[in-house]
Structures are given as C-alpha cells and as structure tokens.
Amino acid sequence: MIDSLLKIVFPPRCIVCKKNDTLLCDECSKNLRFEPKDYVCYPFIYAVSVFQVSTTLRLIVHQFKYKYKEYLISILSDYLLMTVDIYFKEQSDYVLVPIPLHQKRIDERGFNQAMLICETISKKRNYAICHLLKRTKETKQQALLNKKERKDNVSNIFEIDSNELNKLGSKNIILVDDIITSGETLKSAALTIKNLIPNKLFAITLSRGIK
C-alpha cells in the first residue's frame, strides 16, 4: 500500500532519459550491451564480465557507485543472473567472495557494491557467500590513477580472514566486483588467496573497462 502511494507521488524515472514509470525504459535498455564475455585475467583467474562498455551502463554504474544509489542494482540483476547461469551452472561447486572495501569507504557510501552483487546472486541462485578477504589499507580511487599508480595503490591491501576459511571446503572461489579496469585490485586479491589456498579462482564483474 505504502509502496503504491509512493510510486504515485514520486514515480520512478528512467535513469537515462528521465521518462516516468521505470528505472530504465525499454528504449534505453536497448543500449545496454548485454554481451557476456569470458577471458583469462592473469594466468590464474578465469573472469567473466556481464556487459560490454556503453554510455548507458557507464551512467548506471557511476550513479550506483559514486552517487550511492544502491537500488540501481535491480536494473542489472536479471542480466547478472543470466550470466551466472551460463558460466557457473552448479552453485554447490562455488562460493562467492566479494572484494571488500575499507571500512571508511563503507561508512561514506553505506554499502559495498560487490556485496550487493553477491547478495543478488545468492538470494536468487542460492550461492554461499564467504567474506574471505579483509581490506587492511585505505586506498585512493583506482579510476583517478594511472596504470603504475593503480598497481602501487592496491599492492598488499588484503589479508585472509581465518574465521571464514571453514566456509570454503573444496569449493571453487568466485571473486566478485563491480567493474574491472586495469585489473590490479582483482590481481591483488587473487594473489592473497592463491598464496594460501589451492582452490580454483574465478571472477565475475558487471563490466570491464569503465572509468
């Protein structure tokens, strides 16, 4: 009842063209390049991205990530789940590991976007979530840095949470993040895990190359 009234008083608007009644209208959704692509991200990570870069996706991700509009994950959830169904068919074989944010960044934003993606997959497909990694350093935003600065910025910023190890068993690990640009954050996380845990490493992101 309350939700219905709110929609009448404050109708949702398309995030792109601002038309009423939907967060992403049919016309604008056609510009989302839903083209799942897999690739080898360093010799030890098999990664999958849900979308190819587009103006529409860039706008959604920036609003989601930097304007703190966490509800926008609902626009992308169906596409995300379809990609998971294609590449990771047996949920009992995998565990989701979100790339963690520093606590200061979570306090500012109110959420971890990687965790929202994990929760979307977990709720609909019953994947387990494991908070295996802890972020030990506050870092600058990767999007603002050049290639060398990005590598230095995320070097040795993660450690294993030993309390979470029992959730792994022999399951393969799917690292989860919103986007991959240079890949240095993902690489840093993977190296932290690979040095201690023999499980196979995979990754899923919304897109590759958005800045």
Residue 10's pLDDT is what?
A: 59
pLDDT in tens, 31-82: 999 999 998 887 788 999 999 999 999 999 989 888 888 899 999 999 999 9
- Find the domain containing 13 and state its range: 1-29
Q: Which residue has the higher pLDDT, 6 or 42?
A: 42
Residue 181's pLDDT is what?
A: 82
Phi and psi angles of residue 65, each rounded to the nearest 5 degrees, phi first:
-90, -45
Alpha carbons 206 and 204: distance in angstroms, whole number: 7
| Buried residues in 102-126 as b, exposed as e (16+ CB within 10 A) | beeeeeeeeebbbbbbbbbbeeeee
- Residue 168 shares a structural domain with residue 85: yes
Residue 1's pLDDT is what?
A: 44
Number of structural domains the chain divides into: 2
Residue 195's pLDDT is what?
A: 77
Question: Mean pLDDT, to the nearest integer, of 105-120?
Answer: 92
- Residue 20 shares a structural domain with residue 87: no
- Residue 73 shares a structural domain with residue 122: yes
Q: What is the dihedral of CA 70, 75, 80, 83, to 10 degrees?
A: -170
Joined tokens for residue 117: 């993606």
- Residue 10 shares a structural domain with residue 38: no
- Residue 55 shares a structural domain with residue 3: no
- Residue 144 shares a structural domain with residue 44: yes
Q: Which residue has the higher pLDDT, 139 or 48?
A: 48
- Residue 7 shares a structural domain with residue 95: no
